[in-house]
Structure 1
Amino acid sequence: MRDTRRMKRMVRAGKKHQITGLGLNLIPILDILTVLVCFLLFHSFNGDMPAAQVRLPYSIVETRPRETVHIVVTPEVVLVQDEAVVSTRKLLDGMSEMVPEVAERLRQLEPHLPQTAAEDRELTVLADKTIQFKVLKKILSTCTASGYGKISLAVVQKAAKKS
């Protein structure tokens, strides 16, 4: 078939109306998504982050942690608000039911806490799952004697088993 001038003109006119070069550019989208993921990971934790050497026990929990005074019990040391106060080995070997070092540190923190009734003061204990219960009992007794009425034990949330 012969190309006439009219046919050539129609082909040229058709090319003018075609949209070209509007392909989807993925690089800016990936940049935005990367920034969004980093932001969400950075701000996804509410409450206290356990130290790397503390392996929390697992539990099925429903509520999110609140901002409270926190005590971290590692296999080596007990930390109150990220300050080392006593060796865990000393608590294991000691005969006393109270821990005076922890009580003293809690007294030091009182002026920095909001003024609430003694039974409303909150405290969170983050303890390694290998810590013996008698060590935890000494720490919990000391916290109760220091006027903390609401004491929580932090655990790692695991999914509920479906029956």
Structure 2
Amino acid sequence: MKSLSRRARRIQRNQRLRKSPGLNLVSLMDIFTILVFFLLVNASSDSELPSQKVMKLPDSTAEQPPEETLRVLISREAILVHGQSVAKLEEVTNEGGGVIEPLREELAYRLSLSAGGENDTLTVLADQSVPYEIIRRVVETSRVLEFRQVAFAASQISDPAEEASQL
């Protein structure tokens, strides 16, 4: 065996040192894990109102955002509780009467899930075109189940007095 010259050993040593270090995936995985948890927590928030394409809410000048409550959405086609269809609006209109039975059953079920009556507030989101009679019947149904507070959601607009002063 022939021993390498000084120059050959120096070249080999420099080639070993020039190799790029491998990518450290542990810290990259940590960053992505934190990002995924952040997105999951924020995506599950229920505080957003339905899109303007689905329904047109009446306007309001209230300054406080709505609380997290049990939501009943009355669209042009159906009555929904937290996004789950409970009754078709056409059937409810034709039925007449006071209490909407499928809605009463769903709200009673939702109340049974909440412990100790913590969830005794109801928020009604109704399209502008929904007849008042339907909204009255939804409120009557919630009254039968003894909801203490019924709130109505509306699109927030700025105060007309403020708009006039800004002009």
Report if TM-score (shorter chain) is over 0.5: yes
1:103 and 2:104 correspond: yes
1:106–1:46 Cα change, 3 Å: closer
**CA 1:68–1:161 in structure 2 vs 1: closer, same or farther (change >3 Å)?**
same
Question: Which residue of structure 2 lines up, in the alignment, with residue 50 of structure 1?
Answer: 50
State the TM-score, normalizing by the size of structure 2.
Answer: 0.65
> Secondary structure of the equivalent of 1:86?
strand
TM-score (norm 1): 0.67
| 1:147, distance to aligned residue in structure 2 (A) | 1.5
- Aligned counterpart, 2:156: 157
Number of residue-to-residue matches in the alignment: 120
Structure 1 residues without counterparts, runs of 5 or longer: 1-38
Aligned twin of 2:126: 127
Deviations 1:71-97 (A, max 9, x none): 010110100121101011112222211
Q: Taking structure 1 as reference, are residues 48 and 140 closer, same or farther at Cα in structure 2, changes over 3 Å only?
A: farther
Distance 2:48 2:106 in 1: 18
Runs of 4+ in 1 over 3 A off after TM superposition: none
The aligned residue for residue 90 of structure 2 is 89
Quote the Cα distance in structure 2 between the aligned partners of 1:82 and 1:105.
12
Classify the secondary structure of the residue corresponding to 1:115. helix
SS of alignment partner, residue 117 of structure 2: coil
Distance in 1 separating the partners of 2:112 and 2:93: 30
Task: State the 1:46 CA deviation.
Answer: 7.0
Contact 2:111 2:117 in 1 (8 A): no
Distance 1:96 1:46 in 2: 32
Establish whether residue 63 from structure 1 lines up as the match of residue 64 from structure 2.
yes
How far apart are residue 158 of structure 1 and its match? Answer: 0.6
Q: Secondary structure at the match of 1:109?
A: helix
Distance 1:48 1:98 in 2: 28
Q: Distance in 2 between matches of 1:71 and 1:48?
A: 14
2:150 partner SS? strand
The percentage of aligned residue pairs carrying the same residue is 19
